[in-house]
């Protein structure tokens, strides 16, 4: 239960604030919304590569692809709604789904 509170209440909202709220928001000022989503997703994926390198079962390349796709989906959700709560819940939900699979 503590893990879920941490994911939904702290970790996912913090990552979404940084990557969607700040990075994607700033990129949108210079580039098109699509380019902002894509570039923010690349930053999001690159941030996760070192974590994958330390984790068993994931290669840095597979982690990059997985987080690039999920980052683009989270970015699109934010762009369509203008609400960081939507990608934050999706982000934490993805972690929860992974936990349930295990």
Whether 70 has a pLDDT exceeding 90, the answer reads yes
Backbone phi and psi for residue 32, each to the nearest 5 degrees, phi listed first = -70, 160
Helices (H), 1-102: 2-6, 12-16, 25-30, 33-54, 60-81, 85-101
- 35: phi then psi, degrees, rounded to nearest 5: -65, -40
Determine the average pLDDT of the residues in 27-45: 97
- Tokens 């939507």, residue located: 86
How many domains does the chain divide into? 1
Residue predicted with more confidence, 97 or 79: 79
Q: Evaluate if residue 59 carries a pLDDT over 80.
A: yes
Please tell me the predicted confidence (pLDDT) of residue 102: 61
The pLDDT of residue 2: 87
Domain residue limits at 34? 2-101
The average confidence (pLDDT) of the chain is 91
């Amino acid at each position: 239960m503590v893990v879920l509170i941490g994911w939904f209440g702290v970790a996912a909202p913090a990552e979404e604030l940084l990557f969607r709220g700040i990075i994607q928001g700033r990129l949108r000022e210079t580039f098109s919304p699509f380019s902002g989503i894509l570039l923010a997703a690349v930053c999001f994926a690159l941030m996760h590569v070192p974590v994958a390198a330390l984790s068993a079962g994931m290669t840095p390349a597979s982690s990059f692809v997985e987080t690039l796709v999920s980052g683009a989906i989270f970015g699109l959700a934010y762009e369509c709604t203008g609400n960081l709560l939507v990608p934050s819940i999706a982000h934490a939900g993805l972690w929860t789904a992974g936990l349930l699979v295990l």
